[in-house]
Amino acid sequence: MRGRWRPLFGRSPHLGKGLRRWRMTQHQIITDEVQAWVGRRFDPITYEIDPSGVRLFARTMGYTDPIFYDREEAQRRGYRDIVAPFGYLGAPVYNPAARPANPLRLPELPLKRRLNGGTVMEYFAEVCAGDVLTATTSIEDIYERPGRTGPMAFIVLKTEFRDSEGRLVATQQTTLIRY
């Protein structure tokens, strides 16, 4: 292994420098310009629920109920089609010629690292194969907290998934951490 030796256990000698430097300067990462992003809504994204994706997700998650695999069994139990398991809301449909691959442009922050701070999903209706959902994301909150390595910024996103008739099917709240 090349490079300097680092201990496997215990603290890295560089772990606390960022926090000390941040406490000394006490500068804010979340400026008024960044805070102005709260409430911003992004362009809608279309998600398609296809049977192959539903089956693959169900198999990956270890679901064995036939409603996730067999259309006839799902319809016999009163569903429209194969049921999408909890957590699967389809695959986004992108047209690279029409817009960039990442339509969610977030505010620029002077922090390089990123971390998923958690995702909360809530369902209001069943999602089945063949459904087409429209997802609209907005920035709900942006706030800052001190961390061991320096300041951390939290960006809370809320996404609403609506079906082709405009009914709210699910919401997803995601917290992104920058540090």
By C-alpha distance, which of 24, 37, 43 is closest to 143? 37
pLDDT tier for residue 122 given thresholds of 50, 70 and 90: very high
Q: What is the pLDDT of residue 5?
A: 43
pLDDT at residue 4 in the model: 47
- For residues 57 and 85, is the Cβ–Cβ distance under 8 A? yes
Name residue 149's amino acid. T
CATH class of residue range 14-20+27-49+89-100+108-179: alpha beta
Report the pLDDT value the prediction gives residue 8, as an integer from 0 to 100: 45
**DSSP H stretches of helix in the chain:** 17-25, 32-35, 51-61, 71-76
Full-model pTM: 0.79
Phi/psi of residue 165, nearest 5 degrees: -95, 5
Q: Would you place residue 155 in the very low, low, confident or very high pLDDT band (cuts 50, 70, 90)?
A: very high
Span 16-74, pLDDT tens digits = 444 444 444 456 888 999 999 999 999 999 999 999 999 999 999 999 999 999 999 99
pLDDT (0 to 100) of residue 138: 97
Indicate the domain borders of the chain. Answer: 14-20+27-49+89-100+108-179, 51-88
